[in-house]
Amino acid sequence: MLLKSKRISRGSFLLGISLSIFLVSTYRIIGYIGFAILLISAVFFVEKIYIDTVCKIVLLCELLLIARFLMQLFFGDIYPDTFRSYLIQAFIYLYILLIRNTMLQLKDWKWIFSRYAIVILIIGIYLFSNNIIEKSEMFSSMYGNILLIGFGISLILTHLETNVKGRIFWIIALVLFIFLSYESGMRSAFLGELIGVAFSLYVSLRNNGERINKNVFFMVVLLCFFVPYIYLELYSPSSNLMAEISSFLQLFVLRITSKRFFSGRDILWPYIIDSLNGHQFFGHGIGFNPGLIYDTSFSTHNLFLFLRLEQGIIGLVSFVVLLYTFWINYYKLSRNKTMFFVQGFMVTILIQQTFSLGLVGGKGGFSIACWTVLSAFSKQTIEG
């Protein structure tokens, strides 16, 4: 009976996560169906609620989100996107709790993720072969973000796979995902993948200890926080040294990607940063977006600016604590250095999210898949 339930749960999770890809496209009704299947599966196949440190931090983030939302209702600070943004984030935190407490073990998640990654790869090859990987009717210009999920799964499976042929397959898949990400025009995803691979290989070989591992996390977080400020300094250098670095980066990026280094964030980010004055602690409120500052339809294009804009330093700090709890959890669960590769995936995501948005906002296709992978491995061991 238990075996049959696991087979059903594996199939339902695979179906749900595969359909959720379409949340980024004009066919998002298919994505909503996939997300509904995931939520139902997560609720139905919960084995037992473990209130460990990760779950406690997730609950804290959920409570802070609810408190901020109630404050807005009380004071009447409601924006057009308030309810939508609140529901997306509330569902994400709920989903993390459910995923971490399902009956599925490591071998089950390997089964699900390996097939999901192949689905992503097949679609990516199809889009590339038809010269529509940068922009298509199915996925608009967002398929590069979906490819990043496939990259993360391949990165992890290159180490989890014990069969030599299987490991070779996932190494080839990893290379293909990096290539397709480059071709998709998603430069932040491509850069994040290169850094993620380098990190995973380095720490898995060196394993310098928990203290250095923690310090690496904080270095990545600080980088993500300061990227907008560094970017704007490069756009308008205040010294000859920064001017030379800016010139080099512009020529280098243009030569490698055939696109400008400065892609509009130099216009967007100053408005956002200026709007934070007087709202640093609590933010403007859930649902507050750049379109309320000046005439634009763009998002913040930075995860940390999104959190600061909506929920201020309180929201940002609580979210960083959540990421840190996951990070430490991976380190403590590391058997045969497996979880360093999950950390490498998290590094990839954070680098990508310094120039994009989707881990707690956006259309959901990216965030759902990311949190499924991050949560599934946060309490698994190699024997799982």
Judge whether residue 384 has pLDDT over 50. Answer: no
For the stretch 116-120, contacts whose Cβ atoms lie closer than 8 Å and that sit 24 or more positions apart, written own/partner, are 116/14, 116/17, 116/18, 116/149, 116/150, 116/153, 116/369, 117/149, 117/150, 117/153, 117/154, 117/157, 117/173, 118/173, 119/18, 119/21, 120/21, 120/146, 120/147, 120/149, 120/150, 120/177
Alpha helix stretches (DSSP H) within 76-142: 82-99, 106-129
- Neighbour-count burial of 76, counting CB atoms closer than 10 A to its CB (0-12 exposed, 13-18 middle, 19+ buried): exposed
**Distance separating alpha carbons of residues 20 and 91, to the nearest angstrom:** 14
Secondary structure element (H or E) that encloses residue 353, with its range = helix 339-353
pTM of the model: 0.92
Confidence label for 349 from pLDDT (cuts 50, 70 and 90): very high
DSSP notation for 140-177: BT-HHHHHHHHHHHHHHHHHH--SHHHHHHHHHHHHHH
pLDDT band at 337; cut points 50, 70, 90:
low
Model pLDDT for residues 157-175, shown as the tens digit of each residue? 998 888 899 999 999 999 9
- Each residue of 110-124: pLDDT tens digit? 999 999 999 999 999
- pLDDT value at 381 more than 50: no
**What would you measure as the largest C-alpha separation in the chain, in angstroms?**
70
Q: Output the six-digit token pair for 65.
A: 């989100």
283: pLDDT strictly greater than 60: yes
pLDDT in tens, 8-45: 888 999 999 999 999 887 888 998 899 889 888 888 87
Instruction: Express as a percent the part of the chain with pLDDT over 70.
Output: 95
How confident is the model at residue 102, as a pLDDT?
Answer: 84
* Stretch (H or E) spanning 247: helix 240-257
Which of 105-109, 120-124, 302-306 bottoms out in mean pLDDT, i.e. has the lowest? 105-109
Residue 82: HSE in the Cβ half-sphere, 13 Å Cα cutoff: 14
What pLDDT is recorded for position 383? 40
Confidence of residue 332 (pLDDT cuts 50, 70, 90): confident
CA distance 311 to 319: 10
